[in-house]
Structure 1
Amino acid sequence: MYFSSVLWLQALWASLTWAMQHYPSEYGHYDVCKSLVRSDEGIVWEYMACQPESTDMTKYLKVRLDPPDSTCGESPEKFCAMGNPYMCNNECDASTPELAHPTDLMFDFEGRNPSTFWQSITWKNYPRPLQVNITLSWNKTIELTDNIAITFESGRPEKMILEKSLDYGRTWQPYQFYAADCLDAFRMEPKSVKDLSHHTVLDIICTEEYSTGYAAHAKTISFEIKDRFAIFAGPRLHNMASLYSQLDTTKNLRDFFTVTDLRIRLLRPATGATFVDEQNLARYFYAISDIKIHGRCKCNLHANTCVFDNNKLSCECEHNTTGPDCGRCRKNYQGRPWSPGSYLTIPKGTANICTPSISSIGTPPKYGRIWPSVSSLEVSNRKQECHCNIYGSAHDRCKDTGWCECKEGATGPKCDDCLRGYFWHRGCQPNVCDNELQRCQNGGICHRNMRCECAAPYTGILCEKLKCEKESGGCGTRNGQGAVSRSQGLALTALLGALLLTAF
């Protein structure tokens, strides 16, 4: 009898292990992801959406200049001193380390005296424009998390454009325009980031704040990431939950802070005057002593770590995903369309784990007569008290799956979490769309600020799901045969649990 019970328990454990491997929770949370954060209690672990730590991204980039011979010193040349533009006996010479100014000095350790910097050729070909493109490439999608800061030693340029690419430099779009006179340079009214609002946060602006001439105290040009975050999270970024919610639901907002490449287009150097002194053209050039870019690898909320190996960044993917950005499901884990992770519900997020493909799921192991005899009626009649959430659940008793029965929009064993597209307020309330911050996904159109009208293949509050996901067959199956649902997996787990109870 004892021997038979041991064998039976071994069989039960093997089957339970098989079930957990093949029926993952459709709405799995980020149980593998945590990060250290500062709180009133000190440094604590916070469980949140999977994303790598923010870090100095200049350690991983490659620099390209256009024209490629834009760096001074290929032929030694004189240039004027920074503090005194009329003292022009300094020399740039690429063949002499002490006199060279290569591109890697844009990112070296600051604080040395004298400071080190990259320097362009002088404006010796005036009146032809002195223009240099500096392209910064990661060969990886990254998300910016702090202000971009560019420190000039030669005086800040009077005309400049910061551009971004999302497709590894194939196409470019402006991020921000900089000019001493925006109307004259770009035919744009001057603006500040402080002029932006929830409705205009994605606007491309021209600013005159950073385009003065020679000034020892005014060397830095910024692209203000945190000021844009503050539009949603408050002036001290105290409400990051609000920002995360907007990143999940506002069309194009997450892409706005995402890049594969940045390009600094230097179009006119600082002159410090209304005219160019043609007798002293060695006064005019570009010199950059530091560039600060903080961000993180974009892993679509499916990885907590990004590694730099063989001069390449890549995400260490979780949730059965793969690819440099965790942008697709692993082989044999394509049971439903891939989806990025979600910050919602705050604060836990929803992992959107890739589920096994139908073809990869076999049959559970068979163990003959070791299984005890239990009727399905006995299993279905076991109800139990589950402490269901009073706002999220239909009643306080468990369903036959072992989970509470949730109201619309709620999820989780106790119905105390919300599905994507809902927020928690005494239960799960649907997020509605609006015309300014479009929340409808997959081509959906906001109708009267109340609901999303979805394109034909999609459904859901935000048009976030393919219709076939809601049908019993699931996506990618023929006539619904062979589909594996979340409820089937839960029912199997409940059955095994009931068998264990019956055995004793």
Structure 2
Amino acid sequence: LIHLSVLFQPLLTLWTAWGHYDVCKSQIYTEEGLAWDYMACQPEATDMTKYLRVALDPPNITCGDPPETYCALENPYMCNNECDASTEELAHPPELMFDFEGRNPTTFWQSTSWKKYPKPLQVNITLSWNKTIELTDDIVLTFESGRPEQMVLEKSLDYGQTWTPYQFYATDCLDAFTMEPKTVNDLTQRTLLDIICTEDYSRGYVWKNDKTVRFEIKDRFALFAGPRLHNMASLYGQLDTTKNLRDFFTITDLRIRLLKPATGATTVDENNLSRYFYAISDIKVQGRCKCNLHANSCVFDKGKLGCECEHNTTGPDCSRCKRHYHGRAWSVGSYLPIPKGTANICNFGSSNDYLLSLFWCMSHITENQKCDYCLCRERDPITLKSLGKYYLFQDFTSATRVCDNAMLRCQNGGTCHHHQRCHCSPGFTGVLCERARCQGPGECDDQLCITCFLLLPICPRCGL
């Protein structure tokens, strides 16, 4: 007997990954023959700090130029920490906020002290992706210094042109931001999008387990999906129908506004300003490329993220239909119904689009096209003589790629030939080796079948 947990494990895995739809399409057999079954899909969640650019304002706020000695916050007479940008072991540049954790000694970015920067010690740290991304887990900042007494986390959805607050942080929310202190536990489904000020993360001294500042994403998911995220269908339904909710978890940029460093007291010790500074050892941002449920992979090429679009869509976020695929208006994919969702693919437009694309496919495709749906045969555009190569029909506008046997999906043991067609096992024929080979002479010729397909809408003799 098979235990029920084995049967339901794929669904449990889907839920715990909070919506990792990893397949965009699969081939199925229908009454009309081989066809595509399309599904909503999205890239897997990953560590998004690998792909960001960081900028500091003011730009000269990092310590070490000139070298500087720091005192401990809890002991103003313990001043043996040095920052020197010209010495690798003593430098604390911004990239150390995103390097591998677990090194000894700990690596971190550090600002100049209040002594070297006598104005209010304020720093903006901007994280930019040049791509729309969706957050899937808590944003976590780990401070090597005391946690800031005042801080704001902000987001942008338009590549840094405009900013809106995500959350305020302070030791005293009323005094700092004229806001009543709240926690994420005070939120409800109706108030999930409220911007709150919390005092949970702003104690000044650094204790052993007291270094992090969070923006709680999963606790907000739990308002719809339950405390263990067991009811993902409820969350998916809300994300499908409430644009403001989708946008709340979507960003192009994050900005950390450090407004007041930890002082550990109600007043600033003007005689020991070297005690006050910011230092961050780690920033975690977990998320995925936003591809509007039209891609299951996102590539980082030439310093830029981009979705590898399916469903006849295109663009950095798969947010428009390909040329000739405007048979219906573009639409975002849907998470529902679980577990495959709805792809909302872009379809061929008019019959003119179809004929133009067919002619293009027959005469202009180059070598090494991605083997995926081989139904087109290249022909000379003047003589219509076959040039002996089979090519992809459905995705004919995609970039050239190396022929991949796994993507051609040749049937019945067939393999992908370097001329972009299936090499069939004995006894089978057809572009995808999907048909048994004809036994009688003249009963059905494979080349004739292809000719029928290209020139006639129906070819009963060939079973197309």
Closer/same/farther in 2, CA of residues 69 and 324 from structure 1, 3 Å limit:
same
**Partner residue of 2:248 out of 256, 265, 275:** 256
- Answer yes or no: is the 8 Å Cα contact 2:294–2:313 preserved in 1: yes
Corresponding residue number in structure 2 for 1:203: 194
Corresponding residue number in structure 2 for 1:162: 153
**Partner residue of 2:344 out of 342, 345, 352:** 352
Post-superposition offset of 1:197: 0.6
In the aligned structure 1, how far is the partner of 2:165 from the partner of 2:137?
A: 18
Within 5 A, what are the aligned runs for 1:180-199?
Answer: 180-199=171-190
- Answer yes or no: is the 8 Å Cα contact 1:141–1:298 preserved in 2: yes
Post-superposition offset of 1:345: 2.2
Post-superposition offset of 1:191: 0.6
Within 5 A, what are the aligned runs for 1:22-421?
Answer: 39=13, 49-81=40-72, 84-124=75-115, 128-216=119-207, 217-358=209-350, 359-362=352-355
Post-superposition offset of 1:38: 5.4
Question: Which AA in structure 1 matches 2:353?
Answer: S
Question: Which AA in structure 2 matches 1:322?
Answer: T
In the aligned structure 2, how far is the partner of 1:180 from the partner of 1:231?
A: 26
In the aligned structure 1, how far is the partner of 2:94 from the partner of 2:239?
A: 35
- Answer yes or no: is the 8 Å Cα contact 1:37–1:45 preserved in 2: no
In the aligned structure 1, how far is the partner of 2:232 from the partner of 2:12?
A: 13
User: Structure 1, unaligned stretches of length 5 or more?
Assistant: 1-34, 366-494
Post-superposition offset of 1:363: 9.7
In the aligned structure 1, how far is the partner of 2:104 from the partner of 2:139?
A: 24
In the aligned structure 1, how far is the partner of 2:202 from the partner of 2:312?
A: 49
- Specify the SS of the correspondent of 1:227: helix
May I ask how many residue pairs the two structures share in their alignment? 337
TM-score computed with the length of structure 1 as normaliser: 0.63
1:327-353 per-residue CA deviation (whole Å, 9 max, x = no partner) reads 111111112211111112232211111
Question: Which AA in structure 2 matches 1:92?
Answer: C
Post-superposition offset of 1:200: 0.4
Closer/same/farther in 2, CA of residues 80 and 327 from structure 1, 3 Å limit:
same
Closer/same/farther in 2, CA of residues 264 and 154 from structure 1, 3 Å limit:
same
Aligned identity (percent) is 72
- Answer yes or no: is the 8 Å Cα contact 1:145–1:226 preserved in 2: yes
Closer/same/farther in 2, CA of residues 357 and 238 from structure 1, 3 Å limit:
same
Closer/same/farther in 2, CA of residues 99 and 364 from structure 1, 3 Å limit:
closer
- Answer yes or no: is the 8 Å Cα contact 1:245–1:346 preserved in 2: no
Corresponding residue number in structure 2 for 1:455: none
Post-superposition offset of 1:80: 1.4
- Specify the SS of the correspondent of 1:307: strand
In the aligned structure 2, how far is the partner of 1:164 from the partner of 1:62?
A: 15
In the aligned structure 2, how far is the partner of 1:90 from the partner of 1:121?
A: 12
Moved more, 340-349 or 199-208: 340-349
Corresponding residue number in structure 2 for 1:30: none
- Answer yes or no: is the 8 Å Cα contact 1:37–1:46 preserved in 2: no
TM-score computed with the length of structure 2 as normaliser: 0.69
- Answer yes or no: is the 8 Å Cα contact 2:327–2:346 preserved in 1: yes
In the aligned structure 1, how far is the partner of 2:162 from the partner of 2:253?
A: 10
- Answer yes or no: is the 8 Å Cα contact 2:21–2:340 preserved in 1: no
In the aligned structure 1, how far is the partner of 2:56 from the partner of 2:113?
A: 15
- Answer yes or no: is the 8 Å Cα contact 2:324–2:357 preserved in 1: no
What is the CA RMSD across the aligned residues, in angstroms? 2.6
Post-superposition offset of 1:126: 6.9
Post-superposition offset of 1:361: 2.3
In the aligned structure 2, how far is the partner of 1:302 from the partner of 1:364?
A: 22
